[in-house]
Amino acid sequence: MKEERILINQRIKRIFTSSLIIFFFVLILFSFITLRNLKRSVEIDNHFYSSTIDSIIQLNSEKLEILAEEYSKNEKIISFITMENDQKQLDNIFKSLILSQDVDFVAIYSNEKSVYINCENKILHSFLLTLNFQKNNDFVHSYELSESLLFPFEYYAYPILKKDSETQKRRIGTILLGRFINIERLLELERLTASKITFETDPKKTLKPFGITLTYSKPLKNSQNKIIGYIVAQKPSEAFKVTFINLSIFTIMFILLFIFLLYMSAYFVTDTVVTPLQKIEYAIQNNTPDVIERYVYQKDEIGELSRAIKHYLEQKEQINIYLKELESKNASLRMLNEEVRKLLEKDTLTGLLTRYVFNSQIERLYVSSKADKIPLSAISIDADNFKKINDTYGHAEGDEVLKKIGEIILKNIRLSDFPIRMGGEEILILLPEADINAAYSIAERIRNKVQEEFKSKPYTVTISLGVTQLKPEDTIETFLKRADDALYVSKTNGKNQTTIF
């Protein structure tokens, strides 16, 4: 029996070893040729892709240069610098430029200082005041990124020349045109290039492996020639796609070959292994230990398997008991995890959501509103004279007041809204897909319900509210600060009222 066992092992190993050697030899040869061709194809595609993306970005930048050069020759602008005319005339000139062209801000400098700035962003306005082009007679193209801004901005500064004679010109100032490289412009670039476009300070964090995607990183340099970030473009590689299809066809062919080789050995395996296993399976399913005993004493593979099965049957009951205990413990652990999650998400006193939910949702709501161009509003709420109630009637009564205010809020908002207790008596409601008018209506309804609820109490409970809506130029911080500022105005103007900013 021992000799037969060795013979079976040898025959099976011989068949499978031969099949695997042939299979892997052809696979390695084909893979080597394919990968070499793939590398060259991807390099060519990536070079062409990089050139295309760079040309599109450069074309967009040249629009600013052309406009700057054109407006540097405008007689009204030259007259403004030399004679310091009323800047309303310049406002009319640049108003149509900003509305109709790809320009976000304009600045004009004399040889000594800035004389005109048209920019709504205060942080950028301050930056423009610091620029000085006194010693520069050539145009300047630069990218800048402030720590207070989410996106970089690009500008062209072009010298303004005045004719002193037919042959002589002198520099009297500089005109600066610029724009933000924000989400809208990145999305437009994505549309033009059919690529994923992002701004990154470190492109290595987002770039996918070479070959799977075509990649290009354009460095953005500031006026000191330092890199402030990169415009990163990525697009699935067609060469990789074609290679993947070829490899799939190759794999299918070799699977068919492998199936054929398996079929050749099927008869042998069936005769020596499958039939005895079927008998053992029948004995196990029908609980017939006498059939198992037939094979336990054999000294081949079937005998080893029979002994292992016999041992398994003896241990089966103990294993089932252990599995039931483990399932019970897992169920308890799931219940505990769910309780912990509820404690993290819901304030136990008011029933409102917690800052944990605020921290996990605010950025998602902000990005979704910007990308999908849907409104996002916020209501900032604070209980009036709440400290006086705590001091006079005790903290227990104060907790009841907060609890009742929370119940009123939950009954008067939509299911899609996020009512969050930020701390103490401060409450913030985030309202996705609600404009400022809808938010104001909800705020007034809550304010009136709170005022009515506590009429029977020996003390007066009212709330002050501030309402605002996310604007295109807003960051998360400016959006929330405006809601707090509106609340502050409500407090200052006598409390128990709603202010819109």
Which residues are the active-site residues? 425
What does the alpha-carbon distance between residue 501 and residue 466 come to, in Å, rounded to a whole number? 7
Do 429 and 445 form a contact (C-beta atoms < 8 A)? no
Nearest to 111 by CA among 133, 80, 139: 133
End-to-end CA distance of the chain: 93
Distances, alpha carbon 103 to alpha carbons 52, 123, 133, 174, in Å = 23, 17, 20, 17
- How far CA 82 is from CA of 89, 115, 117, 179, 324, in Å, comes to 14, 11, 16, 27, 91
Neighbouring C-alpha atoms within 13 Å toward the C-beta of 428: 23
In whole angstroms, give the CA distance from residue 452 to residue 52. Answer: 66
Structure tokens at 49: 């892709």
- The Cα diameter of the chain in Å comes to 120
Q: 349 and 403 in contact (C-beta within 8 Å)?
A: yes
Rg (CA), the chain: 37
Amino acid at 207: L
- The Cα 242–Cα 255 span in angstroms is 20
What residue type is assigned to position 274 of the chain? V
For the chain, how many helices (H) and strands (E)?
14, 13
Q: Are 118 and 142 in contact (CB under 8 A)?
A: no
Cα dihedral 379, 384, 389, 391, rounded to 10, equals 100
Helix (H) or strand (E) holding 338: helix 301-345
- Burial of residue 15, with CB atoms counted within 10 A of its CB: 0-12 exposed, 13-18 middle, 19 or more buried: middle
How many whole angstroms separate alpha carbon 56 and alpha carbon 380?
A: 44
Residue 376's φ and ψ, nearest 5 degrees, are: -140, 120
- Cα–Cα distance between 257 and 170 in angstroms, integer? 82
